[in-house]
Amino acid sequence: MEKRLIPLLPVIIFIVIFSLSQMAGANDVGTSGANFLKIGVGARAAALGDAFTALTDDGSSIYWNPAGLTKIKNRQFFATYNMWFQEISQGYLSYVLPSEKSVWGFALNYTDMGKIQGYDELGEPTYQFGASNLLFQIAYAKNVGKDLSLGIAAGYLADTIDADQQAAFHTNIGLIKSLPSLDVGLAIQNLGSSLKEDPLPLTYKVGFALKMSSFNLSFDVAFPADNKTHFVAVGLEVPLSQTFTLRAGSRYNRYVDSEFSCGLGFNLEKVSFDYAYVPYARLGDTHRVSMGLKL
Show the beta-strand stretches assigned E in 102-162. Answer: 102-119, 125-145, 148-161
Cα separations in angstroms, 77 against 63, 107, 110, 157: 15, 10, 16, 22
Amino acid code (one letter) for 102: S
The residue type at 69: L
pLDDT confidence of 162, banded at 50, 70, 90?
confident
Tell me the β-bridge partners of 102: 142
Task: Write out pLDDT tens, residues 174-222.
Answer: 999 999 999 999 999 999 888 878 899 999 999 999 999 899 999 999 9
Residue-wise pLDDT for 28-59, tens only, equals 555 677 888 999 999 999 999 999 999 999 99
Res. 26 pLDDT band, cuts 50 70 90: very low
> Domains, the chain, ranges and CATH?
2-294 (2.40.160.60)
Report the C-alpha gap between 21 and 116 in whole angstroms. Answer: 32
What's this model's pTM, rounded to 2 decimal places?
0.86
**Residue 161 confidence (pLDDT):** 83
CA dist., res. 87 & res. 255, Å (int): 26
8 neighbors 143 (Cβ within 8 angstroms): no
pLDDT score, position 253: 74
Q: Are 224 and 201 in contact (CB under 8 A)?
A: yes
Distance of CA 262 to the CA centre of its chain: 18
Instruction: Please state, in angstroms and as integers, the Cα–Cα distance from residue 282 to each residue in 76, 86, 252, following that order.
Output: 37, 11, 17
3-class DSSP state of 239: strand
> How far apart are the C-alpha atoms of 239 and 55, rounded to whole Å?
15
